[in-house]
Structure 1
């Protein structure tokens, strides 16, 4: 076994093994200290970032017999679609670990860091899997540790709401998993193979059968994306989750859903996907408008960012529904850009919530730009990127999505109408971004109405907190100024999908 294959195996299993060790070490035989847990988690995620870069450069593969009686194989590999997601997952995992060090901790630090590492390892294994059943198993690994992060380490100001958010997260995701598994089994038995590489070239079966399987898979994956109207679990989960959990949930876990749509629907079931695409487009645009309207009145900063994620994932699904190579590029680029932008905004929101003792936007406060200029700058840049300002990461995803929806593979009239409404959604995005900038960044005009926080806690970002935010700021700018690197990386893999041939 050569070095590249060892790196391929180590990439998901290093964080998984370290994560389970920390979860176990938090209870028996002697609790791991917070410093030891942080050091192990930080070293593991640094190594994971290095391994993800090595795997991205060398592109190794591994294909071994797994369950011979069922014809299953342990098949791992990478291509231009999965490489950006691997690097994003590893990087956000490292930043989430570092950011936790800046927060006040509750509960067992070893368990917290362990859950973060298990989520990272499970997501990496999902993006590496080239067997449909292995894909499903890896997909499910991340759910329990995320539930723990929400339910055990979530917001303690309203324990009942936190428990409800964790329970809602589990119920929705288990429902989605059940439907997705049924769809995967139907696809595998109909196609006669579990190899995602073979399935990605397109399967040969009647159009009606394709549509039925595609509908089943879409119903399950729509919960994971989330696609309106199956999105209601997300705002509650983000509100309750700790900052690191929100960063991983928005930047990584949501991407598992859209990645599954590409691997299981768009590639294998081209005819079925084209049949469902108009419905997907309508639901996606409805979600964009719905989320935009909610963000105009929502008083919680974290919930506004959560609802904006619903809108941005709607943009990704609209691009996929367009059914063209340009649409796939826009969707996959939008996955990465939203991952970076949402991680930045949740990191800033977590810092503000800690300093404000809450995240209400309707409470008069001092201007963030005055009392915490670094956080103010990061907030403003994140909002600008989210609304699609040129030269920032969010611009290319929205621009290319509107362009692809205007020139779709089918139903041109419908998709032109959807493109127009999606553009209206972009206007709503600008409106609620400016609302946050006005209330938080610029602050209250009346000093007598302001509720000033404890001055000892109201300070600017520094140390690890500022380092995490600064890395995300640089990534947002680099991806906005130089999008062609990511586009060129994805193009060959996109062109291999059966739906485009």
Structure 2
């Protein structure tokens, strides 16, 4: 485990908390609160620079580790670190803070200071979730993020904000209770809350079934997977733009992160046993989300249901248990956060002009708002996986992994990709070339400088990661290889996977992982191992 003398992860957590406290205690008004939070967001990005410059590509283990005893008698510790599974989500969370401030600049007109306090607090909690390696610490951050999101919907949401916020809170709280029960069960078995120690522990099959069930329900609600998805459209439609961005780009990923971080390493026997059920639910989510999105008239609701489908690809990639599937799942997590976050920002931008999220009220914009429709078209085609853009890579990898695992699974997932093209092209065509019901949109202004500033970085990432996905592969592949190697090794020890069922590459990967070596950096040795096996 690579430790660092510079506590970059702690700074990324506690700086926004400190900024939130300062802002809350200040008398800052609207403009001052916005500027303070915007500056804090740029400082947060600057604090993350060491993560970018000092992250070791090809290292599958924990990096930037920080460890201190918290309550030794209870086995509690303050333990933070990142690996290829969590690294990119931390960077995405940090990037979104100033962009959320900018996209809310004129959207939020009341209780402005409190709104930005919630954004800062949310950022700290989300970074904490992706970096915590102590179960209690993880749970503290997991629960902490519910409060600001609930407030963002309940206070700054739409007309039905009370219903939406209460539904969001009750669903996620029910899942959190099950997750807490699993944490207590693990502690009762081992006497530790250390996540790395629990990953190295082995539990009975029955115990794994129960704990997997509790965790899987909690994570399925958070994703959300069908049939636990009903809170998501309500929350998205009623949330302010920044709330929808954080919800789609970061919060949904915590469920899939939980599957990958906890269910596979800690309860592998249960994950293997329930994999057919999880794959079936994932395919239902993909197809159901696509069909329902195709019939929506509200832009936000359409994008919300598209998220159900896209996150179905993530869970499908996770539970097919192969290298391409897991790499694709992480790609989709990152790129869905970029593209869907951008689409919610654009819906917020057009809502400020038309005061309506109905597709029928926002037709024919290509002629009068060319820059707006240029960005919207880019993100719309990226959303359904157009080749050359970022989402294509992740979905292609998941489909490749699905076909490698089972031909039927791959065939059943294909309609989901086709439906995504159908509903996003329908939306884009109507907004660009549809016949307006009234000429009111002729007077709307095109994108201003502030809107260019918060859309341009996401557009650049959309194109760059589509044309040059290799940098993401170098980050995620070693950690994914280690997760799979450890997973297969535990199945072999339990007699679920016979030694002769493992491929030569899997066995070589297991040996390399046990030696702490990188799959990327030892490709020559791997080829030699394969030749020797033959």
- C-alpha spacing 1:301/1:44, structure 2 compared with 1 (3 Å): same
Give CA-to-partner distance per residue, 1:335-360, whole Å, 9 cap, x none: 10100011111111111122121011
Offset of residue 419 of structure 1: 2.1
Residue 442 of structure 1, aligned match among 416, 428, 433: 433
- Conserved? CA contact 1:5–1:62, under 8 Å: no
- C-alpha spacing 1:371/1:54, structure 2 compared with 1 (3 Å): same
**What secondary structure is seen at the aligned counterpart in 2 of 1:5?**
coil
Q: Check if 1:341 corresponds to 2:326.
A: no
- Conserved? CA contact 2:75–2:191, under 8 Å: no
- In structure 1, the residue matched to 2:46 is 50
Distance across 2 between alignment mates of 1:56 and 1:255: 21
- In structure 1, the residue matched to 2:478 is 492
- Per the normalisation by structure 1, the TM-score is 0.92
Structure 1 segment 98-497 matched on structure 2, within 5 A: 98-101=102-105, 103-155=106-158, 159=159, 161-201=160-200, 203-363=201-361, 365-408=362-405, 412=406, 416-444=407-435, 450-453=437-440, 458-497=444-483
Offset of residue 94 of structure 1: 1.8
Offset of residue 308 of structure 1: 0.4
- In structure 1, the residue matched to 2:493 is none
- Conserved? CA contact 1:243–1:350, under 8 Å: yes
Distance across 2 between alignment mates of 1:4 and 1:120: 23
**What secondary structure is seen at the aligned counterpart in 1 of 2:70?**
strand
- Per the normalisation by structure 2, the TM-score is 0.86
- C-alpha spacing 1:281/1:371, structure 2 compared with 1 (3 Å): same
- Conserved? CA contact 1:227–1:283, under 8 Å: yes
Give CA-to-partner distance per residue, 1:195-254, whole Å, 9 cap, x none: 2223334x3122222122111100111111111110111111111111111111100111
Give CA-to-partner distance per residue, 1:282-309, whole Å, 9 cap, x none: 1111111111111111110000001101
Q: Which segment is superposed worse, 484-493 or 308-317?
A: 484-493
Give CA-to-partner distance per residue, 1:96-116, whole Å, 9 cap, x none: 112222x23232111111101
Give CA-to-partner distance per residue, 1:69-127, whole Å, 9 cap, x none: 211000011212111111100001121112222x2323211111110111111000111
Distance across 2 between alignment mates of 1:153 and 1:271: 44
- Conserved? CA contact 1:215–1:276, under 8 Å: no
Distance across 2 between alignment mates of 1:55 and 1:198: 25
- In structure 2, the residue matched to 1:61 is 65
- C-alpha spacing 1:151/1:340, structure 2 compared with 1 (3 Å): same
Q: Check if 1:96 corresponds to 2:100.
A: yes
Offset of residue 272 of structure 1: 1.1
- Conserved? CA contact 2:103–2:349, under 8 Å: no
Q: Which has the larger radius of gyration?
A: 2
**What secondary structure is seen at the aligned counterpart in 2 of 1:76?**
strand
**What secondary structure is seen at the aligned counterpart in 1 of 2:356?**
coil
Offset of residue 383 of structure 1: 1.1
Please give the root-mean-square deviation of Cα atoms over the aligned residues, in Å: 1.7
- Conserved? CA contact 1:379–1:441, under 8 Å: no
- Conserved? CA contact 1:355–1:453, under 8 Å: no
Give CA-to-partner distance per residue, 1:243-274, whole Å, 9 cap, x none: 11111110011111111111111121111111
**What secondary structure is seen at the aligned counterpart in 2 of 1:60?**
strand
Distance across 2 between alignment mates of 1:424 and 1:348: 27
Distance across 2 between alignment mates of 1:406 and 1:295: 26
- Conserved? CA contact 1:207–1:272, under 8 Å: yes
- Conserved? CA contact 2:323–2:481, under 8 Å: yes
- In structure 1, the residue matched to 2:529 is none
Offset of residue 186 of structure 1: 1.8
Distance across 2 between alignment mates of 1:56 and 1:280: 34
- In structure 2, the residue matched to 1:28 is none
Distance across 2 between alignment mates of 1:50 and 1:246: 25
- Conserved? CA contact 2:289–2:308, under 8 Å: yes
Give CA-to-partner distance per residue, 1:353-375, whole Å, 9 cap, x none: 22121011134x54121111111
